[in-house]
Amino acid sequence: PAPRPAAAATPADGAPAKPMTRMEARRAAKAAKDSPAVVISRGIGELFITLGVLMLLFVTYQLWWTNVRADQIAGRETHKIQDNWAKGGGKPEAFEPGQGFAILHIPKLDVVTPIAEGISKEKVLDRGMVGHYSEEPLRTAMPSDKQGNFALAGHRNTHGEPFRYVNRLRPGDPIVVETQEAYYTYEMTSVLPQTSPSNVSVIGPVPPQSGFTKPGRYITLTTCTPEFTSTYRLIVWGKMVDERPRSKGKPDVLVD
């Protein structure tokens, strides 16, 4: 039989590899580089991650931190109002825009929040307070007036969101306004689930869609709807059923 050919000589294991020429090194380095498509896709991915982190921080700020800050500010304003009453500070002829002058209680919703003059976002609403429509042409009555509609605005979401759950109120539920002189108790009577922000008739002396047919002593709560939007307004109406001097103590609905 014919002899088998001898095996080709190979470098022993561990023997140093033959060094590459300069041209071979350039080709190897070029092949190792990422293609433009890979570089672009990596950059886009990093951009989306950055945007995602920024969006998460923004949502956290809006939904959590604005509430924390607003609750702190509103709490301080409530104590300031109460301290002023305790010191016997006289009632001014008119309240300054942004000045707290009363406290709103909605027992069913565990809401206790200061009421300030005006509906400025910066000075009132974004500080966790509810605002009294007090400027022309939207000026409304005060609780002490013998006739009229005491209209309030408040955030439904973020910045303390005092009116978040006003849609849960039902006819007969109490709403109490505490002032330096008295407690004014209203009973919720009706709701308008959605209306245009331009429908200012809802805070009129006798709102057409409220069910009220003649002048009286009413309260109106206004807020945005649907939640997390400002497209429409949600309206809640009530009528006064009791006026109690502070000297007689809290009304029964506020007594634990």
Exactly one of 155, 156, 159, 217 is catalytic; name it: 155
- Tell me: pLDDT of 221 over 60: yes
The answer for residues whose C-beta is within 8 angstroms of residue 33's C-beta and 6 or more apart is none
For the chain, give every domain's residue range: 61-254
Contact 45, 78 (CB under 8 A): no
**79 given a catalytic annotation:** no
CA distance 222 to 225: 10
Q: Who wins on pLDDT, 174 or 28?
A: 174
Report pLDDT for 7.
45
Of 7-11, 147-151, 226-230, the range with the lowest mean pLDDT is 7-11
Report pLDDT for 193.
97
Average pLDDT, the chain: 87
Report pLDDT for 9.
45
Report pLDDT for 50.
76
CA distance 231 to 166: 17
pLDDT in tens, 25-40: 666 666 566 667 766 7
Q: Who wins on pLDDT, 125 or 89?
A: 125
Q: Who wins on pLDDT, 38 or 201?
A: 201
Exactly one of 127, 132, 159, 233 is catalytic; name it: 233
**155 given a catalytic annotation:** yes
**233 given a catalytic annotation:** yes
Report pTM: 0.77
Q: What is the mean pLDDT of residues 13-29?
A: 65
* Tokens at 98, concatenated: 């942004």
* Tokens at 163, concatenated: 């009116």
Give the pLDDT band (50/70/90) at residue 174.
very high
* Tokens at 113, concatenated: 């929040």
Query: Fold for domain 61-254?
Result: Sortase; Chain: A; (2.40.260)
- Tell me: pLDDT of 4 over 70: no
* Tokens at 205, concatenated: 């002396």
